[in-house]
Structure 1
């Protein structure tokens, strides 16, 4: 099935975003009747109903919700292609929708993103900060920063850094509770858990360079859905945290946190995840390249 009229696609996207046909018509400088005809034409070509409409309200159908992200991305790619071939559009332009973990964003990424935005005034950043995983197509995310290997073969990963989850606690906590000598002793400690990809991360798997492995189910008095709060609890001496070494490095250097069982860790690469690299906008590629260079310099 081919969409025969790009304007019909624009009508659908604007209608979904504006909430009604009149708003879409105003944005596209056409009459409401023309907007209605274009939407009906698109639905006929697709063979599905995209919007449930009444005299007062409208809402996306399940098929419309599924199709919206693809339509938005298609229009964005057409705009990007036009910008790339036009000699008058030399600088990077357009929006970048970026999703990233909360703690990594606050502690490392934010100044880098500010510097990128300042260097490219034609680019706008739409940042989603959360520890949940986004569906890149459904949520129309251009790039997501994620730890670990990809579970979805449709996506493309660009490695930003080789890192690992490591154990850490404050000197005050270790003085009070003692320092474990093996992962199995973690069950005797207050372990600070937080949600990873929507699930509470309480089963910790660690390994050594010699090939030893251990999986420990931890328990503690505190659990949270925001990794940054767990991080703060660790700094306050509330327990042991199992977290990316990238997030903890500055606190190790300052002596605010101490490595616990430093020979034990969980390798966890950090990737920039893309819906596809076939039609990657120049602005997105530039941001990924910039982050990759900054992580390399960070060591």
Structure 2
């Protein structure tokens, strides 16, 4: 089984995008009859039905969606390669320093990340990247729901936590833990818990990630990370499915919360939040860059992952210095 030409891939992608053979034929500048014949030939050769037709619309089958996902990435890689090749030839024909300039990255990058991470950490790094590469277009999906990278056509997802076994490609960008944090105003009104068991008397801001409610908080003594954790089930009057809202409630003094160290690093540095039990740390919360494939990875996506890795390394170093200084006081 094989694909005979690029037009077949384009046809499948445009069928999915436009919802009809007529719309796909219009984009490809062929007749609807020619588009229908091409699609039937492709299905016969692959031995699989790729679309379901009705009188009003066309939709992809599961096999069609799977092939469409790969086809779209292949077409994007091809477009990027042609663009880089053309710009490389143009640069080689120019004299002086311009001849040595690297080809411009071009194309769309679809990124998915949680709300608090995006607003507190990623936006400046993404702005820097777009400034460096004016030919790149960014589509940013912000939310704490977990997208399917292939089905939802995501090029790069940034996710916290230990990873389940999957066919996705992962690169660790940050190594950190959850911390118990609160505003100085909250602690002044309600007192400071000294150990995990003290949380029973406090208003704890909880949040939901996907279908999982984060209400069992685990803690380890900093000097005994190999020991079993102390786990407490917390209660509180505020619960959200958006980490950014939980962060805002923290800043407004409505309770304590169990947040990723990276998300609250800026608020800790400014003094808007404080680490409540510095002798205790929460669960590991590494940040990974998840990619749907290493083989079909556009250069622009590789470049963005490298840019984020470098930026987060700097934040990691700054955060480590702040943590050592805070514990020394």
Q: State the TM-score, normalized to the length of structure 1.
A: 0.93
Contact 1:97 1:142 in 2 (8 A): yes
Contact 1:25 1:32 in 2 (8 A): yes
Q: How many Å separate the matches in 1 of 2:67 and 2:12?
A: 10
The answer for the alignment partner of 1:184 in structure 2 is 197
Q: How many Å separate the matches in 1 of 2:172 and 2:137?
A: 24
* Number of residue-to-residue matches in the alignment: 299
Contact 2:208 2:240 in 1 (8 A): yes
The gaps in structure 1 that reach 5 residues or longer are none
The answer for the alignment partner of 1:135 in structure 2 is 148
Matched, 1:43 2:43: yes
User: 1:186-205 alignment to 2 at 5 Å?
Assistant: 186-205=199-218
SS of the residue 2:147 aligns to: coil
Contact 2:9 2:68 in 1 (8 A): no
The answer for the alignment partner of 1:123 in structure 2 is 136
Contact 2:74 2:296 in 1 (8 A): no
The answer for the alignment partner of 1:106 in structure 2 is 119
Contact 2:49 2:63 in 1 (8 A): yes
Q: How many Å separate the matches in 2 of 1:276 and 1:54?
A: 33
Q: How many Å separate the matches in 2 of 1:187 and 1:5?
A: 65
Q: How many Å separate the matches in 2 of 1:152 and 1:68?
A: 24
User: More displaced, 224-233 or 262-271?
Assistant: 262-271
Once the two structures are TM-superposed, the CA of residue 85 in structure 1 deviates from its matched residue by 4.8
Q: How many Å separate the matches in 1 of 2:277 and 2:269?
A: 17
Once the two structures are TM-superposed, the CA of residue 289 in structure 1 deviates from its matched residue by 0.8
Contact 2:48 2:63 in 1 (8 A): yes
Higher-Rg structure is 2
The answer for the alignment partner of 1:18 in structure 2 is 18
Show CA shifts across 1:101-153 (max 9, x none): 11111111112211211211111111111112222122221111111232134
Contact 1:131 1:196 in 2 (8 A): yes
User: 1:1-299 alignment to 2 at 5 Å?
Assistant: 1-86=1-86, 87-88=88-89, 90-209=103-222, 210-211=224-225, 212=227, 213-265=229-281, 266-298=283-315, 299=317
Q: State the TM-score, normalized to the length of structure 2.
A: 0.85
Q: How many Å separate the matches in 1 of 2:68 and 2:221?
A: 46
Once the two structures are TM-superposed, the CA of residue 7 in structure 1 deviates from its matched residue by 1.1
User: More displaced, 267-276 or 80-89?
Assistant: 80-89
Q: How many Å separate the matches in 1 of 2:89 and 2:28?
A: 23
Q: Please, what is the CA RMSD of the aligned residues?
A: 1.9
Once the two structures are TM-superposed, the CA of residue 283 in structure 1 deviates from its matched residue by 0.6
The gaps in structure 2 that reach 5 residues or longer are 91-102, 318-329
Q: How many Å separate the matches in 2 of 1:38 and 1:263?
A: 67
Go from structure 1 to structure 2 and tell me whether the alpha carbon gap of 1:278 and 1:71 turns closer, same or farther (over 3 Å shift): closer
Once the two structures are TM-superposed, the CA of residue 83 in structure 1 deviates from its matched residue by 4.0
Show CA shifts across 1:184-213 (max 9, x none): 222321111112234221122222231341
Contact 1:146 1:272 in 2 (8 A): yes
